[in-house]
Chain A
Amino acid sequence: MTINRRRLMSRIMTSVVIASAALAVLPLIAILVDLILRGASSIDLAFFVENPVAAGQSGGGVANAIVGTLIVVGVAGSIGLPVGIGAGVYLAEYGRGRLGFIVRFVADVLNGTPSIVIGIFVWTWMVRPMGHFSALAGGVALAVLMLPMVARTTEEMVRLVPNSLREAALALGYPRWRTTMVVMVRSAWPGILTGGLVAVARVAGETAPLLFTALGNLNFRVNLMQPMQTLSLQIYVYATGPFEEWHRLAWGAALVLMGMVLVLGITARLVTRKRFTA
Chain B
Amino acid sequence: MSATAFHLEARQLSAYYGANHAVRNVSLGIPRHAVTAIIGPSGCGKSTFLRCLNRLHELTMLGSATGQVLLDGEDVYAPGVDPVQLRRRIGMVFQHANPFPTMTIFGNVAAGLRVGPRRSRAEVEAAVERALKGAALWDEVHDRLGASPLALSGGQQQRLCIARAIAPEPEVLLLDEPTSALDPVATQAIEELVQRLKERFTVVIVTHNMQQAARVSDHTAFFYMGDLIETNVTRTIFTNPSQERTEAYVTGRFG
- Is B146's beta carbon under 8 Å from chain A? no
Docked Cα-Cα span, A189 to B101, in Å, equals 12
Which residue from B84, B100, B102 sits with its C-beta under 8 Å from A173?
A: B84
Which residue from B59, B94, B115, B148 sits with its C-beta under 8 Å from A168?
A: B94
Docked Cα-Cα span, A165 to B165, in Å, equals 13
Given that A168-B94, A171-B165 are known contacts, is A183 also in contact with B100, CB under 8 Å in the complex? Answer: yes
What is the total number of residues of chain A having a CB less than 8 Å from a CB of chain B?
A: 19
Q: Is A171's CB under 8 angstroms from B115's CB?
A: no
* Top 8 A-B pairs, shortest CB-CB distance: A173-B88, A171-B92, A172-B112, A164-B98, A173-B87, A168-B98, A186-B102, A175-B84
Which residue of B is nearest A188, CB measured? B102
- Is B161's beta carbon under 8 Å from chain A? yes
- Is A21's beta carbon under 8 Å from chain B? no
Q: Is B56's CB under 8 angstroms from A167's CB?
A: yes
- Is B40's beta carbon under 8 Å from chain A? no
Q: Is B116's CB under 8 angstroms from A167's CB?
A: no
- Chain A contacts for B100, CB-based, 8 A: 165, 168-169, 183, 187
Q: Is A172's CB under 8 angstroms from B88's CB?
A: yes
- Is A102's beta carbon under 8 Å from chain B? no
Shortest B141–chain A CB gap in Å is 18
- Chain B contacts for A167, CB-based, 8 A: 56, 59, 94, 98
- Chain A contacts for B87, CB-based, 8 A: 170-173
Chain B stretch 157-186: residues in CB contact (< 8 A) with chain A: 161, 164-165, 168
Docked Cα-Cα span, A169 to B98, in Å, equals 10
Shortest B89–chain A CB gap in Å is 8
Q: Is B56's CB under 8 angstroms from A172's CB?
A: no
Q: Is A171's CB under 8 angstroms from B101's CB?
A: no
Encoded as 1 (CB less than 8 Å from any A CB) or 0, chain B from 116 to 144 comes to: 10000000000000000000000000000
Which residue of A is nearest B89, CB measured? A173
What is the total number of residues of chain B having a CB less than 8 Å from a CB of chain A?
A: 27
Given that A164-B98, A168-B161, A186-B102 are known contacts, is A173 also in contact with B56, CB under 8 Å in the complex? Answer: no
- Is B226's beta carbon under 8 Å from chain A? no
Chain B stretch 80-125: residues in CB contact (< 8 A) with chain A: 84-88, 91-92, 94, 96, 98-102, 111-112, 114-116
- Is A174's beta carbon under 8 Å from chain B? yes
Shortest A179–chain B CB gap in Å is 10
| A–B pairs, 30, beta carbons within 8 Å | A162-B98, A164-B94, A164-B96, A164-B98, A165-B98, A167-B56, A167-B59, A167-B94, A167-B98, A168-B161, A169-B111, A170-B56, A171-B56, A171-B92, A171-B94, A171-B165, A172-B87, A172-B111, A172-B115, A172-B164, A172-B165, A173-B85, A173-B88, A174-B84, A175-B84, A182-B114, A183-B100, A183-B102, A187-B100, A187-B101
Docked Cα-Cα span, A182 to B112, in Å, equals 12
Shortest B127–chain A CB gap in Å is 13
- Chain A contacts for B99, CB-based, 8 A: 168
- Chain A contacts for B116, CB-based, 8 A: 173
- Chain A contacts for B54, CB-based, 8 A: 171
Given that A164-B98, A165-B98, A278-B148 are known contacts, is A170 also in contact with B115, CB under 8 Å in the complex? Answer: no
Question: How many A-B contacts if CB must be within 8 Å?
Answer: 61
Shortest A118–chain B CB gap in Å is 35
- Chain A contacts for B101, CB-based, 8 A: 165, 187
Docked Cα-Cα span, A164 to B165, in Å, equals 14
Docked Cα-Cα span, A183 to B100, in Å, equals 7
Docked Cα-Cα span, A173 to B168, in Å, equals 10
Shortest B224–chain A CB gap in Å is 26
Encoded as 1 (CB less than 8 Å from any B CB) or 0, chain A from 237 to 278 comes to: 000000000000000000000000000000000000000001
Docked Cα-Cα span, A231 to B91, in Å, equals 57
- Is A128's beta carbon under 8 Å from chain B? no
Docked Cα-Cα span, A182 to B94, in Å, equals 19
Question: Apart from A171-B94, A172-B88, what 19 extra A-B contacts exist at CB < 8 Å?
Answer: A164-B94, A165-B101, A167-B94, A170-B56, A171-B54, A171-B56, A172-B111, A173-B85, A173-B86, A173-B112, A173-B116, A173-B168, A174-B115, A175-B84, A175-B115, A178-B115, A182-B114, A183-B102, A186-B102
Docked Cα-Cα span, A47 to B85, in Å, equals 63
Docked Cα-Cα span, A169 to B112, in Å, equals 8
- Chain B contacts for A178, CB-based, 8 A: 115
- Chain A contacts for B102, CB-based, 8 A: 183, 186-187, 189
Which residue of B is nearest A172, CB measured? B112
Encoded as 1 (CB less than 8 Å from any B CB) or 0, chain A from 166 to 205 comes to: 0111111111001000110011010000000000000000
Q: Is A170's CB under 8 angstroms from B96's CB?
A: no
Chain A stretch 151-171: residues in CB contact (< 8 A) with chain B: 162, 164-165, 167-171
Docked Cα-Cα span, A278 to B88, in Å, equals 31
- Chain A contacts for B114, CB-based, 8 A: 182
Shortest A265–chain B CB gap in Å is 25
Shortest B210–chain A CB gap in Å is 26
